A = this chain, B = another copy of it.
Amino acid sequence: MADAKLLEAFKTPGDTPFVIEHVSEEFTSKCPMTGHPDFAAVTLRYQPSPASTAAGKHGCVELKSLKLYYQSFRDQGIFYEGVTNQIRDDLVKLLRPTWLQVVTHWRGRGGIRSVIRAEHGKVPGEWKTL
């Protein structure tokens, strides 16, 4: 089952705002209705909390831990929307970022492919449709 305890964080390098983006094209979970596997690309974007703040002490997600966290969804039955919201919530809890965005692109069912976009904080407009 998806396990947020796998996630680890490290201190934001400084106080100057910048934006981090991680794209994984190897995400898979299972449909909770049929048990069939679902496949997605997951994009995570966020502006970490400044280093000098309390949140900045654990401001950036460690890349290998993110991979293991994504892998923990492999056997879980969960809807598209559930995946997207859970990733956002787990990472917001971990990082307390200035803003954060999760976008999942699903390969499709019945001839329909889907994209779910979830956000936290004030995501600048220019990121919203990417």
Chain A: residues with CB nearer than 8 A to chain B?
Answer: 13-14, 16-26, 28, 36-37, 39, 60, 63-64, 66-67, 71, 74, 79, 81-82, 84-85, 88, 107-120, 124-130
Assess the A118–B18 pair: CB atoms within 8 A.
Answer: yes
Chain B residues within 8 Å of A109, by CB? 63-64, 67
Known A110-B63, A112-B63, A124-B128; contact A28-B22, beta-carbon cutoff 8 A:
no
Chain B residues within 8 Å of A16, by CB? 85, 88, 118-120
**Listed A/B pairs (7) with beta-carbon separation below 8 Å:** A18-B116, A19-B117, A20-B115, A26-B107, A60-B81, A124-B128, A129-B130
